[in-house]
Every structure is written in structure tokens, then in C-alpha cells.
Chains A and B, each alone.
Chain A
């Protein structure tokens, strides 16, 4: 959706960290999400963050939320070839998700 924006492509070397950025416009969102889509597959929920949190860490994933700037990021530590996929951020309004266009992450050896 046009209210959630992401860069379209990211190329990262195997073993490096990936950072995917997202901006959103609706300050009333309660939750913000990151989904992963592998080729030919559906969307898999990676992680989410409640809007009153600044950071959430889950193994190799770190989500940072800057509510003032309406900026959300996903950091993947020690990026592996299996992390190659499209990553979508989404915000939630009234139980409905609004998605960004997706960031295609390519992991190179």
C-alpha cells in the first residue's frame, strides 16, 4: 500500500548483516510486522513489534521502531543464503494489514 514504503532491493554478502528499512504514515498503528516470502510461497510471519516498544530482538532478528519518525527496520545478523527472499513490512489498522511493496534481499557468496 502507498502508506507503507520500502526500498525494493538489497544485496548483501553472506555472513554480513542486512538492514531493511520501512516507513509508514499511520501513527495509530498498534502493531508493525515483518513478513518473509520465499519464491513461489506464501507469506511467513517473521516478527512483530508493539507500537510502544523501541526494539525487539529474536535470535538473529532485531526490529527497531522510531515512532517519532515513523520508521521501522529489520536487521538480520549473519545473513545466510536461506535468507534470500522478499521481506514485507506491514502496519495494522482496525485488524487489517497494509503492506509495503516488499524488499528483495539477495545474498551473495
Chain B
């Protein structure tokens, strides 16, 4: 039982490049989330998916798209990366509002 896994662990992009961050969970959770973490700002919700087939915007969705591919996988796409998107990205999953399990994070640098 791996919990929540994320790939890649690290990524460096040039401004304007695109990439997809992958997230998978093996706990059969309905809900999945993408957060970004910036120094002094805690974690901010980018997008979430309450169940397979649904996605909703969070606090900071601009510049991102998501896909809930199936119950296990929830990907985050940057179509045209900007330096302001340099951050650490965390995926999380939960079955109820009580518990959210977090992945190890992806450290993204946009030059």
C-alpha cells in the first residue's frame, strides 16, 4: 500500500514549456486534491476532484488544468509555465472530510 505517489519528484522548466504532474492513490479514495506550497504562505488549493469524473477550482486555479483520469489518478497540467509557478506541488486524497493523505511533493522550478 503505497498511499499517494507523485511523479516526478523534481522538474526544471523554461518559461512557456508545458508539463503534466502525475498523482496516484491506492486507497480507493473518492476525493483528490492539488495544492501548491510557497514560502510563508502555507498550502493553497489549486483544484480538487470530489469524485471520479468531477473537478472544481480551488483558491488559485489560473494557469493550471486538471484531469481525473480514473478513481486512482489525478493529473495537473501546466500548459505554458511561468516563473510564478515555481513551487512545491502536493497531491492529496481523502475518503471523508476528516483525513487527507498527502504525497511527497514535486519541486518545480520555472526559469
Q: List the interface of chain A (C-beta within 8 A of B).
A: 1, 4, 8, 30-31, 35, 41-45, 48, 88, 90, 92, 95-102
Residue pair B97, A31 in contact (C-beta under 8 Å): yes
Cα(A97)–Cα(B46), bound, Å: 11
Contacts of A97 in B (CB 8 A): 33, 43, 45, 100
Q: Give the residue name and chain of the A residue nearest to B38 (CB).
A: A101
Complex Cα distance, B74 from A56, in Å, reads: 34
Q: Least Cβ distance of A36 to chain B in Å? A: 11
The number of A-B residue pairs with CB atoms under 8 Å apart is 55
Taking a contact as CB atoms under 8 Å apart, the answer to whether B44 and A1 are in contact is yes
Q: Which residues of A contact B83 (CB under 8 A)?
A: none
Chain A contact residues, majority secondary structure: strand
Chain A residues with Cβ below 8 Å from B59 are 1, 98
> What per-residue 1/0 map shows which CB atoms of B68-104 lie under 8 Å from chain A?
0000000000000000000000101010011111111
Check if B42 sits within 8 Å of A95, measured CB to CB.
Answer: no
Query: Do B48 and A99 touch (CB < 8 A)?
Result: no
- CB contacts (< 8 Å) of A1 on chain B: these are 42, 44, 59
Chain B CB count within 10 A is highest, among A42, A44, A45, A90, for A42
21 A-B contact pairs sorted by A residue (CB < 8 Å): A1-B44, A30-B97, A42-B4, A42-B90, A42-B102, A42-B103, A42-B104, A43-B43, A43-B90, A45-B101, A88-B43, A95-B50, A95-B94, A97-B33, A98-B45, A98-B59, A100-B42, A101-B40, A101-B41, A101-B42, A102-B42
